[in-house]
Amino acid sequence: MRTLGHRLLFALAGGLIALAGSAARAETPSYVGAKKCKACHLKQFQSWEQTKMAKSFELLKAGAYADAKKKMNVDPQKDYTHDEKCLPCHTTGYGKPGGFVSLEKTPELVGVQCESCHGPGGEYLKQGYMTLVNREYKRAELLKVGLVVPMAETCTLQCHNPKSPFVTKDSVFNFEERKKKGTHEHIALKYEH
Ligand code: HEC
Ligand code: HEC
Ligand code: HEC
């Protein structure tokens, strides 16, 4: 009897602490890096790894894509890996809390990673959100703390726009086509969210 009462009390107290904790946590989410996502999304990770998006930091190096750069009046001999004009679209979370700072300080955040498209995971990966014990999470709850389910506008507003030297005014962005080569293998979700 005593133990049962105690357990109930502890469970209640624990629940209250968890609630208080989650309310206090509604802060700016920070970036965690693609390796964290790999643990639960291996297929997406492995197929993403092969894409040009994953490797897009390499494009900033001197000598890379020289012909394309010449055509667009970008100096093919110059090293752009520290150029703040290029970093927002060729790294993950540049200038944001927990995001890419520099190749030396945050080498794990180079390229267009999961969180460039799906939002920083610092909050939505916490207990009660996207976890293995909560596979049936409510999507609306995760969207409130930073998860992004990308649409065409997500891509064009963030990166695929004429601020890029390689996107012209006449470029057409076809979301469905790009999804096939720029993202990862897509696997239907098992649960309702
Ligand atoms: C501890 C395991 C775990 C980790 C780590 C994890 N996820 Fe998930 N994720 C899940 C589960 C479980 C689902 C739901 C799967 C289902 O319904 O089949 C999911 C679903 C998703 C979805 C679908 C969202 C929707 O509801 O439309 C996206 C996008 C996603 N994860 C991205 C990420 C990203 C990005 C990371 C790293 C920052 C990440 N996940 C890390 C377990 C995880
Ligand atoms: C507004 C976001 C943005 C900025 C800023 C940006 N890029 Fe990019 N970059 C992109 C996108 C999007 C693509 C892919 C274009 C496509 O294939 O439609 C790209 C592609 C490239 C490519 C490959 C071109 C090809 O032919 O495949 C190189 C090289 C490159 N960028 C270098 C740079 C350099 C150097 C800078 C800075 C001077 C820069 N980018 C700034 C978004 C950006
Ligand atoms: C260039 C943008 C982009 C990147 C990078 C990206 N994703 Fe996605 N992801 C998408 C899009 C677009 C969808 C599909 C949304 C829809 O259903 O229309 C998606 C869907 C998903 C889903 C739902 C199930 C599925 O397979 O469609 C999961 C899980 C997911 N992504 C995880 C990841 C993980 C993990 C990474 C990094 C290894 C990652 N994504 C990198 C754009 C991206």
- pLDDT 10s digits, 122-167: 999 999 999 999 999 999 999 999 999 999 999 999 999 999 999 9
Predicted confidence (pLDDT) at residue 189 exceeds the cutoff of 60:
yes
State in Å: Cα 69 to ligand 2 middle. Answer: 9
Burial 74-97 (b: 16+ CB within 10 A, else e): beeeeebbeeeebbbbbbbbbeee
Q: Which amino acid is at 160?
A: H
Ligand number nearest to the C-alpha of 79: 2
- How many residues make up the chain in this entry? 193
Q: What is the pLDDT of residue 101?
A: 98
Q: Which atom of ligand 3 is nearest to the CA of 54?
A: 5
Tokens of 37: 């996502």
Q: Which amino acid is at 130?
A: M
Q: How far apart are CA 72 and CA 40, in angstroms?
A: 40
Query: Regarding the domain with residue range 31-183, which homologous superfamily does it belong to in the CATH classification?
Result: Flavocytochrome C3; Chain A (1.10.1130.10)
* Ligand 1 first shell, C-beta below 6 A: 32, 36-37, 39-41, 114-115, 118, 121, 125, 130-132, 135, 139, 149, 189-191, 193
Q: What is the mean pLDDT of residues 78-100?
A: 98
Q: How far apart are CA 121 and CA 16, in angstroms?
A: 24
Tokens of 50: 């092969």
DSSP string for 71-140 = HTT--TTS--TT-TTTHHHHBSSTTSTTS---TTT-GGGBSS-HHHHH--TTTTTSTTSSSGGGTT--HH
Nearest to 32 by CA among 107, 91, 134, 115: 115
Q: What is the pLDDT of residue 26?
A: 53
pTM for this entry: 0.91
Q: How far apart are CA 86 and CA 98, in angstroms?
A: 19
Backbone dihedral region of 111: left (phi > 0), alpha (psi from -120 to 50 degrees) or beta? left
Q: What is the pLDDT of residue 181?
A: 87
Over the stretch 21-45, which tens digit does the pLDDT of each residue have?
A: 444 445 789 999 999 999 999 999 9
Q: How far apart are CA 73 and CA 58, in angstroms?
A: 18
Name the β-bridge partners of 91: 110
* Ligand 2 first shell, C-beta below 6 A: 59-60, 65, 68-69, 74, 80, 83, 85-86, 88-90, 159-161, 163-167
HSE-CB at 110 with a 13 A cutoff on CA atoms is: 18
Nearest to 175 by CA among 157, 151, 140: 151
